[in-house]
Amino acid sequence: MAQLFFRYGAMNSGKSFEIIKVAHNYEEQHKRVLVMTSAMDTRSGYGRVESRVGENRKALAIDEETDLFQVVKEANEEERVYCVLIDEAQFLLKYHIEACARIVDELNIPVMAFGLKNDFQNELFEGSKALLTLAEKIEEVKTICWFCGKKAIMNLRVNDGKPVYEGEQIQIGGNESYYPVCRKHYYHPPLQDLANETEES
């Protein structure tokens, strides 16, 4: 039976690489997948999924107007879709996630959504909140804190070497703007130590 999956993790935990790997595994067996991503994330260009290890592939960009259920329904009528894979799912809106649930329930196609759970202020994104409510399977993609060996559970936003705890929820960025961190280093990040190490190297 098809299910709705939510795989979440802090920044830099390999979520995009996991999508590319899962897509490859399906396609190696000649099973068609639909790879999608939020239109908001344009770091690698519009409609692309790219991992930090350099792997990337084209994806359907989801914006506010996208009727996700209809897109998948029509694609499945043209040629069977075995799985829908969605990157940056935290940026989706509640009705997008409800459409994902309909894809699972009415079309019997599994949907695997990957994304952040909480923002830089440790508030849930709208898409993540809906996924936590509706997904049958919720799994964590683990990574370690930028400053120590503990598990990273938060995302620290930085600007000019200083931590940022206020501002707009969405600010697209990579390692130059965000660090995956443990709770201790979210509140007390040793950014000066990091700056000193960078200068020495």
- SS3 for the chain, per residue? CCCEEEEECCCCCCHHHHHHHHHHHHHHCCCCEEEEEECCCCCCCCCEEECCCCCEEECEEECCCCCHHHHHHHHHHHCCCCEEEEECHHHCCHHHHHHHHHHHHHHCCCEEEEECCECCCCCECHHHHHHHHHCCEEEECCCECCCCCCECCEEEEEECCEEECCCCCCCCCCCCCEEEECHHHHHCCCHHHHHHHHHHC
pLDDT exceeds cutoff 50 at 170: yes
Each residue's pLDDT tens digit, 102-157? 999 999 999 999 999 999 999 999 999 999 999 999 999 999 999 998 999 999 99
The residue annotated as part of the active site, out of 18, 78, 88, 166, is 88
In this prediction, residue 201 carries a pLDDT of: 46
pTM given for the model:
0.86
**pLDDT tier at 184 (50, 70, 90 boundaries)?**
very high
Q: Is 88 a catalytic residue?
A: yes
Confidence of residue 13 (pLDDT cuts 50, 70, 90): confident
